[in-house]
Amino acid sequence: MLSQETAPEATGSATTAAAFLRLLRSRAVVRRYTDEPVADALLAELLDVMPTAPTAANKQAWAFVAVRDPYAVRCLRAFAPGMIGLPPLVVAACFDRDRAVREDSGSQDTGLLCVAMAVQNLLLAAHASGLGGCPVSSFSRTAVHRLLALPHHLEPVLLVPVGHPAAPVRPSARRDRDEVIHHDVWTSPTAASAGP
* Shortest distance (Å) from residue 18 CB to a second copy: 9
Site residues (CB under 8 A) for a second copy, limited to 75-104: 101
C-alpha closest to that of 34 among 172, 169, 138, 196: 169
Binding of a second copy by 183 (CB under 8 A)? yes
Interface characters, 113-152, with a second copy (x: CB under 8 A): xxxxx-xxx-xxx-xxxx---xx-x---------xxxxx-
Residue 79 is given by DSSP the state T
Site residues (CB under 8 A) for a second copy, limited to 3-22: 4-8, 10-12, 16-17, 19-22
What string of DSSP letters covers 3-36? ------TTTT-HHHHHHHHHHHHH------B-S-
C-alpha closest to that of 64 among 90, 40, 37, 92: 92
Find the distance separating the first CA and the last CA of the chain, reported in whole Å: 55
* Shortest distance (Å) from residue 33 CB to a second copy: 15
23 vs 194, beta carbon nearer a second copy: 23
Q: Which of 31, 33, 38, 67 binds a second copy (CB under 8 A)?
A: 67
Binding of a second copy by 156 (CB under 8 A)? no
User: Alpha-carbon dihedral of residues 130, 131, 137, 141, nearest 10 degrees?
Assistant: -150
Residue 52 is given by DSSP the state G
Binding of a second copy by 49 (CB under 8 A)? yes
Contact (CB, 8 A) for 27 and 103: no
Binding of a second copy by 182 (CB under 8 A)? yes
Binding of a second copy by 72 (CB under 8 A)? yes
* Residues in binding contact with a second copy, number by CB under 8 A: 92
d(CA 131, CA 126): 5
Binding of a second copy by 51 (CB under 8 A)? yes
Q: Which of 34, 36, 39, 69 binds a second copy (CB under 8 A)?
A: 69
25 vs 195, beta carbon nearer a second copy: 25
User: 128: part of which helix (H) or strand (E)?
Assistant: helix 110-128
